[in-house]
């Protein structure tokens, strides 16, 4: 008997990916109301899956094939939708929430020494008495004598909340053991806060993410600037802020906009949601502002920038933003460990501008000109200047005030430079923002 030619593997995978997607959406997104699969596709699913398992040259793992198929069908919808398999849920939750389970301390290896740079204020490490400069010798009895173990010290220290870790440390030439409870730790969203021009009363705040506590962190940062002196103007730096919680974005916008629309969320079914300003939440209705953005500013950063721009509450300085104007909803289901991040709507600024930008390589020049937030004052940077900006904003973090003197001593002892905030002399975008803010005060 002549053997029938086999279909290409990619064709088979795509077919059952689409079928599985229909099944997932029907069973779970439909509030438990299942959707019957068409007979032809239902039969094809059974036949194709059986044949791939039976005949492919490399014996495939069935569950792994299905995981890849589901991921492929979701990612094919748009650039933001994503299937999150059980193995990736924890890391996804940590990135999106800014929370992780650990002790809350910055621990860095310097040659053969593992040193506590500083604990995060209010975190379990600080409460347990860990101090800047403590040298970690062992973690739960595991010595850090060899380079490979030292390279994995962060993984050794971290662990599930409600557990604890014993650190053997060296402090003032004496060894001691400190038991530190592990808890849910919130990463700082505000990385830099300082007076950029003390004489003129001009403050600077860099917001790195829109995590669940970002609004409070921004408000606390502004209040700390007000305690330094008369705050007459503010630069809010959103460069490389990829967004996050829309609720936090709206809360921050309401602190500066006294009335009117902040943003509109448009959905497929026409059930649009309008977010309005609230007078009782407006804390700084007249504070002169500049918002600094670049191509790495996306999503919630663009919603906030667009609202402040449309209401003439801030001058937008920098480069055109990324253009992520889609709303993503993350679905999860009881008794299932995976999650589904699905595009379910889009944002509009108060004036009705669509933030979404066509990132396709096939997009026409006219299409590419649409979307994103276009700055009022364009300010670019050279590749070398960008490298410094990225390092400062994405990789560095301002040491907590109470630990700064001790941190400087650690830096001197181990020969590394203390992180410095963005500086207008080396950051032309920040320099342009400072100039724009001064002009707004005139």
199-257 per-position pLDDT tens digit: 999 999 999 999 999 999 999 999 999 999 899 999 999 999 999 999 999 999 999 99
Predicted confidence at residue 24, as pLDDT, reads 46
Residue 245 domain flag: yes
* CATH number of the domain enclosing 350: 3.90.226.10
The whole-angstrom distance between residue 420's C-alpha and the CA centroid of its chain comes to: 22
How far is Cα 247 from Cα 233, in angstroms, rounded to an integer? 25
Residue 15 domain flag: yes
* Mean pLDDT computed over 398-425: 92
Residue 47: both structure tokens together: 């036949």
Q: What is the pLDDT of residues 257-273, one digit of tens each?
A: 999 999 999 988 778 99
Same domain, 254 and 113: no
Same domain, 122 and 65: no
How far is Cα 125 from Cα 101, in angstroms, rounded to an integer? 12
Residue 231: both structure tokens together: 């705050």
How far is Cα 349 from Cα 297, in angstroms, rounded to an integer? 15
Same domain, 294 and 437: yes
Q: Confidence band (pLDDT; 50, 70, 90) for 44?
A: confident
Residue 336 domain flag: no
pLDDT of 26 over the 50 cut: no
Lowest-pLDDT range of 40-54, 303-317, 329-343, 365-379:
40-54
Residue 261 domain flag: yes
Choosing from 136, 155, 186, the residue where a domain stops is 186
Range of 264-268, 356-360, 372-376 with top mean pLDDT: 372-376
Same domain, 39 and 120: no
Predicted confidence at residue 285, as pLDDT, reads 97
Q: What is the pLDDT of residues 377-397, one digit of tens each?
A: 999 999 999 999 999 998 888
How far is Cα 414 from Cα 163, in angstroms, rounded to an integer? 32
Same domain, 204 and 252: yes
Same domain, 107 and 204: no
pLDDT of 37 over the 50 cut: yes
Choosing from 157, 186, 215, the residue where a domain stops is 186
Residue 56 domain flag: yes
Same domain, 163 and 201: no
Residue 411 domain flag: yes
Predicted confidence at residue 415, as pLDDT, reads 92
Q: How many CA atoms lie within 13 A of 163 on its CB side?
A: 11
Same domain, 215 and 70: no
Same domain, 232 and 180: no
Same domain, 209 and 311: yes
132 burial (CB, 10 Å; 0-12 / 13-18 / 19+) is buried
Predicted confidence at residue 227, as pLDDT, reads 94
Across-strand partners of 109?
114
Predicted confidence at residue 18, as pLDDT, reads 47
Write the secondary structure of 379-427 as one string of H (helix), E (strand) and C (coil).
CCCCHHHHHHHHHHHHHCCCCCHHHHHHHHHHHHHHCCCCCCCCCCCCC
Predicted confidence at residue 73, as pLDDT, reads 81
Predicted confidence at residue 61, as pLDDT, reads 86
Choosing from 41, 61, 76, the residue where a domain stops is 76
pLDDT of 32 over the 60 cut: no
Q: What is the pLDDT of residues 147-161, one digit of tens each?
A: 899 999 999 999 999
Predicted confidence at residue 280, as pLDDT, reads 97
Determine the structural domain holding residue 41 and report its residue range.
9-76
Same domain, 358 and 372: yes
> How many percent of the chain have pLDDT more than 70?
91
How far is Cα 68 from Cα 46, in angstroms, rounded to an integer? 17
pLDDT of 16 over the 80 cut: no
Residue 277 domain flag: yes
pLDDT of 326 over the 80 cut: yes
* Mean pLDDT computed over 289-305: 97
As for how many domains the chain has, the answer is 3
Predicted confidence at residue 341, as pLDDT, reads 94
Same domain, 245 and 131: no
How far is Cα 386 from Cα 428, in angstroms, rounded to an integer? 10
Better-scored residue on pLDDT, 10 or 177? 177
* Mean pLDDT computed over 307-311: 98
Predicted confidence at residue 34, as pLDDT, reads 61
Lowest-pLDDT range of 26-35, 37-46, 90-99:
26-35
Residue 81 domain flag: no
């Amino acid at each position: 008997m002549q053997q029938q030619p086999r279909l290409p593997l990619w064709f088979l995978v795509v077919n059952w990916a689409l079928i599985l997607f229909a099944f997932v959406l029907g069973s779970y997104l439909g509030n438990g109301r299942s959707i019957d699969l068409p007979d032809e596709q239902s039969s094809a699913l059974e036949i194709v899956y059986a044949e791939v398992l039976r005949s492919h040259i490399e014996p495939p793992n069935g569950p792994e094939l299905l995981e890849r198929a589901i991921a492929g069908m979701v990612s094919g919808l748009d650039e933001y939708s994503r299937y999150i398999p059980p193995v990736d849920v924890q890391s996804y939750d940590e990135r999106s929430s800014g929370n992780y389970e650990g002790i809350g301390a910055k621990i860095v290896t310097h040659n053969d020494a593992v040193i506590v740079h500083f604990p995060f204020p209010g975190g379990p490490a600080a409460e347990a008495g860990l101090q800047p400069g403590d040298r970690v010798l062992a973690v739960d009895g595991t010595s850090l004598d060899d380079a490979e173990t030292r390279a994995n010290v962060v993984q050794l220290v971290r662990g599930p909340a409600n557990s604890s870790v014993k650190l053997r440390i060296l402090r003032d030439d004496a060894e001691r053991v400190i038991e530190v409870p592990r808890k849910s730790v919130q990463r700082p969203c505000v990385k830099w806060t300082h007076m950029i021009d003390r004489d003129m009363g001009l403050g600077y705040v860099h917001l790195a993410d829109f995590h669940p506590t970002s609004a409070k962190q921004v408000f606390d940062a502004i209040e700390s600037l007000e305690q330094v002196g008369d705050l007459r103007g503010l630069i809010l730096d959103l460069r490389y802020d990829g967004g996050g919680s829309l609720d936090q974005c709206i809360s921050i916008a309401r602190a500066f906009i006294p009335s009117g629309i902040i943003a509109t969320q448009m959905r497929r079914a026409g059930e649009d949601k309008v977010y309005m300003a609230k007078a009782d939440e407006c804390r700084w209705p007249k504070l002169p502002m500049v918002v600094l953005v670049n191509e790495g500013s996306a999503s919630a950063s663009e919603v906030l920038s667009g609202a402040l721009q449309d209401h003439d509450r801030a001058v937008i300085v920098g480069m055109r933003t990324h253009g992520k104007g889609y709303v993503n909803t993350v679905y999860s289901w009881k008794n299932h460990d995976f999650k589904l991040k699905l595009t379910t709507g889009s944002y509009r600024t108060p004036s009705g501008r669509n933030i979404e930008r066509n990132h396709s390589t096939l997009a026409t020049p006219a299409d590419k000109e649409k979307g994103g937030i276009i700055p009022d004052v364009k300010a670019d940077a050279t590749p070398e200047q960008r490298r410094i900006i990225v390092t400062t904003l994405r990789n560095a973090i301002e040491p907590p005030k109470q630990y700064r003197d001790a941190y400087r001593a650690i830096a001197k002892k181990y020969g590394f430079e203390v992180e410095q905030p963005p500086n207008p002399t080396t950051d032309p975008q920040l320099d342009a923002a400072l100039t724009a803010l001064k002009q707004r005060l005139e």
